[in-house]
Amino acid sequence: MSDVLENRKGQVDDKEKIGNMSLGSACGLEYIHAQNIIHRDIAARNVLYTMNKVAKISDFGMSRQGDLYRMTKGNKKIPLKWTAPESMSVYQYTKKTDVFSFSILLWEIFSDGEEPYKGLTGVDVKRMVSCGERMERPEGCPKNMFKIIQKCWEQSPDDRYTMSEVVRKIEDVLDDYATDSIETEGHVEPKVTV
C-alpha cells in the first residue's frame, strides 16, 4: 500500500482512503486477531493493495499465535516508528500493540504515504512515544478519522479500541461520508454526488 500511496500522492480521495484502505485493512486485522494471531508488524509496507482496490494484510514473518508474546531483551530489530510504548519498554506484544501499529498505518494512509516521525531517529521516536507524544493530524485527514487514530494510539493498551471496535468506528465514518458530510479543518465539507 505504501507504493500506491506514494505513486498516487494527492490523487486518492477520502472515500477510497476510508472505505477501501482503512476499512479493508481493519477488517483484515480484525480477522487475524479472531484467529488468535498477533501480527507485530502492521504498516503500510505490509498491506497489499490490489488493482480492484482491496487491502490485504501481508508479511507474517513476525507474527505469533496467542494473546501475549514476550520477546527477550536483546539486539532484535523492531520497527520503532510503528511500535507501541509497552513493546518498546518491556518487549511485550498483544493484539492491542497491533492496534497501536494500526494507528500509524491510518496516519500513513491519510498523510498520503509520508514516513511516520520523518527526520527523527529511533531514539527520538522511543522517547516521544514513551512520554505520550504523538504525531499531528495529517493535513486533510477528516477529524472523525483522526479521533479513531488517537484512540488507537492511546498510551495505555486498556484505553485503545479492539479491532472490532475500530471496524465499527470506520464503518460509522464511512456511513457519515455517504449520507452527510465529513468534518475536516474546522468546517464541514458537503458530500459530493455525481
Residue-range domains of the chain with CATH:
2-180 (1.10.510.10)
Mean pLDDT, the chain, rounded, equals 89
As a whole number, mean pLDDT of residues 47-53 equals 95
Residue with cell 497501536: 100
Give the Cα separation of 109 and 124 in Å (integer): 23
Higher pLDDT, 182 or 85: 85
Q: Which of 58-67, 108-117, 127-136, 151-160 has the lowest mean pLDDT?
A: 58-67
As a whole number, mean pLDDT of residues 42-62 equals 95
User: Is the pLDDT reported for residue 101 higher than 80?
Assistant: yes
Which of 3, 14, 41, 124 is labelled catalytic?
Answer: 41
Quote the pLDDT of residue 99.
Answer: 99
User: Is the pLDDT reported for residue 185 higher than 70?
Assistant: no
Quote the pLDDT of residue 76.
Answer: 66
Whose CA is closest to 43, among 144, 96, 116?
116
Give the Cα separation of 74 and 36 in Å (integer): 26
Assess whether 172 carries a catalytic annotation.
Answer: no
As a whole number, mean pLDDT of residues 34-39 equals 97
User: Is the pLDDT reported for residue 57 higher than 80?
Assistant: yes
Question: Given pLDDT bands bounded at 50, 70 and 90, which one contains residue 181?
Answer: low
As a whole number, mean pLDDT of residues 129-144 equals 95
Burial 127-162 (b: 16+ CB within 10 A, else e): eebeeeebbebbeebbebbbebbebbbbbebeebbe
